[in-house]
Amino acid sequence: MHTLKIIFPFSILFFSLAFMSCAQKPNPQVSSAIDNTWMQKSDSFWKQKLSDEQYYVLREKGTEKPYTGKWLLHEDSGTYTCAACGNELFGSSSKFESHCGWPSFDQEINGGKIKTQVDHSLGMQRVEILCARCGGHLGHLFDDGPTSTGKRYCVNSLSLSFEKESKPLKTSDTLTLGGGCFWCIEAVFEQLKGVSKVESGFSGGKNANPSYAEVCTGNTGHVEVVQIIYNPSIIGMNELLKAYFTVHDPTTLNRQGADEGTQYRSVVFYRNEEQKQIATSIISDLQLAKVYSNPIVTAVETFTTFYKADISHQDYYANNKDNAYCQMVIQPKMEKFEKVFKDRLK
User: 1 pLDDT band (50/70/90 cuts)?
Assistant: very low
The pLDDT of residue 36 is 64
In which band, very low, low, confident or very high, does the pLDDT at 329 lie, cut at 50, 70 and 90? confident
| Segment 294-315 mean pLDDT | 96
pLDDT, tens digit, for every residue of 107-164? 999 888 999 999 999 889 999 999 999 999 999 999 999 998 999 999 999 999 999 9
Residue 15: pLDDT band with limits 50, 70, 90: very low
Helix ranges (H only) for the chain are 15-20, 36-39, 43-49, 52-58, 182-189, 212-216, 237-247, 273-288, 316-319, 324-325, 331-340
Angle at 193 between CA 188 and CA 194, to 5 degrees: 110
pLDDT surpasses 90 at 338: no
Domain 173-344, what architecture? 2-Layer Sandwich (3.30)
Q: Which residues contact 171 (CB under 8 A, 6 or more apart)?
A: 231, 232, 233
For the chain, the domains span 15-164, 173-344
Q: How many helices (H) and strands (E) does the chain have?
A: 11, 17
Per-residue pLDDT tens for 53-81?
999 999 999 999 999 999 999 999 999 99
Q: Which CATH class is domain 15-164?
A: mainly beta
Please identify every residue annotated as catalytic: 154, 181
Render 148-179 in DSSP notation, one character per residue: TT--EEEE-GGGEEEEEPPPPPP--EEEEEEE
**Range with lowest mean pLDDT among 30-44, 98-112, 288-302:** 30-44
For residue 247, give the nearest of 85, 20, 8, 23 by alpha carbon: 8
Specify the amino acid at residue 74.
H
Kindly state the helix (H) or strand (E) to which residue 196 belongs, with its residue range: strand 195-203
